[in-house]
Structure 1
């Protein structure tokens, strides 16, 4: 018997995605991806419960993917750090002693339609050494409430994500109404851009699984999902935000450098040319310790 919170897969999709049951309504069930940002409905007789052994096998595979992406990002971070240190040192080539620098990373506002994914993302931001203000909002609430949060937090990076899905029954891939939550992400991005039009002063990531990529970019997102209408992993938005956060504002970001560290890759994520947001200062002193 299927109940709320159960882990299941769908027979009609060859058990490709692991879901958690969110709610039941008669013979239909609302599902949320356990590791990907996909929301779906399914008849209860299309579901199969996942055993403990199978869950651990699937979880082990996901953990390996996450660990690999994390290692890639840390490698890139070290390269970026070496570049900053080299540039800082060359600027003081004639100094009598070494001059240490400090860095001021951007403020990040992460708004998520899934409280469990939000918690997971916050933990990853902390692992990556970034400070973030996290806020849970249902996707349909984002357009109306996003500006109040932006004005309160004053971020340089805004992440708008949660769950989404494309349905062929509702229309073609070009039709925004054929997507579960894309229109809410689009409206929220548009509302932000009305007040913050400069792409290099406020960087926006928007979207979830199978989201309407083109509409999000046209609305004003710097980065979005999903060009090939594929599923994206829960933590992919964090890696996009982190790459922007750790790239100097003097440098343009290579879009491939952003998406190659993600689990979803170029089919799941894309964007437009954008500058980094990290600012370097010197000399280092105890008074600015809390800034770095």
Structure 2
């Protein structure tokens, strides 16, 4: 029998070992050891008796990680196809239907990403960089986000704000519409409200908020453009990146259909939803002048 320790990668036997978790803490409860668990690939926090956990060996971890990478790569390829189509539309418009050559540059929307998990934050920042979205990431515990968000908005002046981390719904703590039954939904809701005190308009600051099983309706009512989780299902750690990257790279003259944003996420419409929102990409010219100024500045 495995002796569960902090840092172990485990799965729950009562859930047919469907999700991998990291053990982040172990406490005594009613004379039994109970582990606090963070999902390895989904934004879920859970607790479980250590007796219900099994340690996942390195071989199985690698097999699952391989399948995960293949899944992520497929989603990334679909995203890149969409982005290339958008880029061609911008080039066509900027060059007058390719009739003339024009040097132009693009300014994607800036992202401020608040995350309650530093490991997930690192994964997200790597994907933002790969896609080409300017981002500033901040690790912040979910309960501290409402107090921190106003100052961070003033400091970084983002076009898009991500408020995420871990969450979960427990039916033993209340009904599906009771925020007290959710581990961090109330913190996400309050953070959205604080952000909207700074910038009320949905097109002047785009907000994604939520994690696994979060109270979608409350987050949208609080002022989020996109949120999780309509069907109270788990969402993938990287889903916020795909949503806000699409918005960051869509021209501000275009309104993004919700389905167009969701279709290349790893979770889909059961875990994610939102309202029609304008993109924030801006195109300018001439690029040559900008490049020359940069060369002169560093020459």
TM-score (norm. length: structure 2)? 0.94
Correspondence 1:262-281 to 2 at 5 A: 262-281=265-284
For residues 172 and 159 of structure 1, the distance between their equivalents in structure 2, rounded to whole angstroms, comes to 27
Aligned match of 1:206: 209
CA contact (8 A) 2:92 2:98 kept: no
Aligned to 1:151, the other structure's residue is in SS state helix
Q: What is the CA distance between 1:92 and its match in structure 2? A: 8.1
CA contact (8 A) 1:156 1:201 kept: yes
1:197 aligns with 2:200: yes
1:139-162 Cα shifts (integer Å, max 9, x gaps): 000001111111000001000000
1:117 aligns with 2:111: no
Aligned match of 1:166: 169
For residues 181 and 83 of structure 1, the distance between their equivalents in structure 2, rounded to whole angstroms, comes to 40
Q: 1:32 aligns with which of 38, 46, 52?
A: 38
Aligned-residue RMSD, C-alpha: 1.4
For residues 91 and 131 of structure 1, the distance between their equivalents in structure 2, rounded to whole angstroms, comes to 29
CA contact (8 A) 2:37 2:46 kept: yes
Q: What is the CA distance between 1:283 and its match in structure 2? A: 2.2
Q: 2:228 aligns with which of 225, 228, 234?
A: 225
Q: 2:24 aligns with which of 22, 25, 41?
A: 22
Q: What is the CA distance between 1:264 and its match in structure 2? A: 0.3
For residues 194 and 135 of structure 1, the distance between their equivalents in structure 2, rounded to whole angstroms, comes to 20
Q: What is the CA distance between 1:195 and its match in structure 2? A: 1.8
Aligned match of 1:128: 131
For residues 248 and 49 of structure 1, the distance between their equivalents in structure 2, rounded to whole angstroms, comes to 47
CA contact (8 A) 2:162 2:240 kept: yes
Correspondence 1:47-66 to 2 at 5 A: 47-66=53-72
> Which ranges of structure 2 fall in alignment gaps of 5 or more residues?
295-299
For residues 287 and 167 of structure 1, the distance between their equivalents in structure 2, rounded to whole angstroms, comes to 54
TM-score (norm. length: structure 1)? 0.96
For residues 10 and 131 of structure 1, the distance between their equivalents in structure 2, rounded to whole angstroms, comes to 38
Aligned match of 2:297: none
Q: 1:12 aligns with which of 11, 14, 17?
A: 14
1:6-48 Cα shifts (integer Å, max 9, x gaps): 0100011111110010011121100000011000010010101
For residues 147 and 193 of structure 2, the distance between their equivalents in structure 1, rounded to whole angstroms, comes to 11
CA contact (8 A) 1:102 1:288 kept: no
CA contact (8 A) 1:207 1:213 kept: yes
Q: What is the CA distance between 1:91 and its match in structure 2? A: 7.0
Aligned residues: 288
Q: What is the CA distance between 1:289 and its match in structure 2? A: 7.7
Aligned match of 1:99: 102
Correspondence 1:242-253 to 2 at 5 A: 242-253=245-256
Q: 2:286 aligns with which of 279, 283, 286?
A: 283
Select between 53-62 and 213-222 the one with higher mean Cα deviation: 53-62
> Which ranges of structure 1 fall in alignment gaps of 5 or more residues?
none
